[in-house]
Amino acid sequence: MKISAITVFQIDLPLSEPYYLSGGRLKFELLDSTFVRIDTDEGLTGWGEACPWGHTYLPAHGPGVRAGIETLAPVLIGTDPLALDALNRLMDVTLPGHPYVKSAIDMACWDILGQKAGLPLWRLLGGDTATAVAVNSSISTGTPDEMISLIQKASAKGYRTHSAKIGGTDIAQDIERIEAITAALPADEHVTFDVNRAWLPATAIQVLNSVSARDWVEQPCQTLGECAHVASRVAQPIMLDECMHDFSDHLQAWKIAACEGVKVKPNRLGGLTKAKQVRDFGVSIGWQMHIEDLGGSALADTAAIHLAASTPDANRLASWLCHYHLSVDPVPGQGARNIDGFATPPSTPGLGVIPDEALLGAPIATYR
Ligand code: MG
């Protein structure tokens, strides 16, 4: 099989409400998503989506996705989309780094592989059933009362795990947020306090040693080294996210005992192929993982839910669904959706999500 065409679409995904991270220093209102359709000489077509969470969250840029695909496409035309490791090596030689550029291409090739094999992605990724994956809410930074109100709204939709975004310059305010949310949380619900790298190590140590909560704390500081320093001096389990860009970061995090778990995000890592490598490593060393994408519609969410569903229960924490924050839905009703706190991956061959091209607008580029 050979790739015969790569077609690129751009779509703006507005958030239903403004969203604040990192103690309020980062604000998000609109996501810039790229959809990729890969056609083959055997008539199979695969879909992928790459959608950074704005331009300030990570070194990943919506227009950069399209620019990178323009560079990669001429090299990929004529190659075998089923040979995913070879395809990823070719992409890495052609354009080192820029993992967020490659994820939509890799995802579309997994979709083609699944259709060719007649198997859903959760099966190809190693799962034995279409496991219903617990979903994880994402609670924008605010006052303790505002955040508790958002958690209660999420609970009413079935969410039992919440990612509460904290991390400011005011130590007392963060302590107050953690204590108030912990006190308000029902016994059967869980919270991760996600700092989104806002603290300096001393602030992290002061805050975390001042609170009674022993819940997960995510990405307290900017770098892996800073987070490892904090992890050795606090009682809470540490989850790492934004500082984990490639496999070697994960290997190093394990070597220096920087964390007990990681977020596995295909768009941050370069696609499902590389996310699966990290997931398999995490299972081998006993990490717990939230497996979800960086952003995007239900198409990107569904790809991540396939990987989550194929992960052992003991290693799998809840998954966030970005599409619940959006005011538009370019794949109406399709894919993994929240049903009373759980999302189940499709069992049709491949990814199981086919966008209506009329909703994507005219393609911005087609490479043949
Ligand atoms: Mg995070």
* Domains, the chain, ordered by start: 3-118+357-367 (3.30.390.10), 123-343 (3.20.20.120)
> What's the rounded Cα separation, in Å, for the pair 232 and 225?
11
Locate 342 and state its tokens: 């759980």
* Spatial distance between the Cα atoms of 66 and 62, rounded to a whole number of angstroms: 7
Q: pLDDT tens for residues 271-292?
A: 999 999 999 999 999 999 999 9
Q: How far apart are CA 89 and CA 91, in angstroms?
A: 5
Question: Ligand 1 centre and the CA of 77: distance in Å?
Answer: 35
Task: Report the relative pairing of strands 3-21 and 365-367 from DSSP bridges.
Answer: antiparallel
* Residues 18 and 27 sit within 8 Å (Cβ to Cβ): yes
Angle 177-181-187 from CA coordinates, rounded to 5°: 160
- Cα–Cα distance for residue pair 71/93, rounded to 1 Å: 12
Using DSSP, state whether 45 is helix, strand or coil: strand
Q: In the annotation, is 265 catalytic?
A: yes
Instruction: Lay out the sheet containing 26-40: strands in order across.
Output: 45-50, 26-40, 3-21, 365-367
Q: Which 3 state secondary structure label does DSSP give 117?
A: helix
Q: Mind giving me the DSSP string for 205-216?
A: HHHHTT----SE
Q: 344 CA to middle of ligand 1, Å?
A: 22
What is the per-residue pLDDT for 20?
A: 78
Give me ligand 1 centre to Cα 45, in Å: 33
What's the gap in Å between 42 CA and the centre of ligand 1?
40
Structure tokens at 248: 């070697």
For residues 201 and 142, give the distance between their C-alpha atoms in angstroms, rounded to a whole number.
22
Which of 274, 272, 366 is CA-nearest to residue 74? 366
Burial class (CB in 10 A: 0-12, 13-18, 19+), 335: buried
User: Catalytic one among 165, 263, 274, 276?
Assistant: 165
Q: Which residues of the chain have pLDDT under 70?
A: 23-24
Catalytic site residue 27? no
User: Which of 4, 8, 91, 5 is CA-nearest to residue 355?
Assistant: 8
> Rounded to an integer, what distance in angstroms lies between the CA atom of residue 230 and that of residue 252?
16
So what's the pLDDT on residue 26?
Answer: 75
Q: How many helices (H) and strands (E) does the chain have?
A: 13, 13
Whole-model pTM over 0.85? yes
Marked catalytic residue, from 102, 263, 265, 276 = 265
Instruction: Say if residues 177 and 166 touch (Cβ distance below 8 Å).
Output: yes
CA of 192 to the centre of ligand 1 (A): 9
SS3 112: helix
- Model pLDDT, residue 23: 66
Give me the pLDDT at residue 168, please: 79
- Interval between CA 353 and ligand 1 midpoint (Å): 26
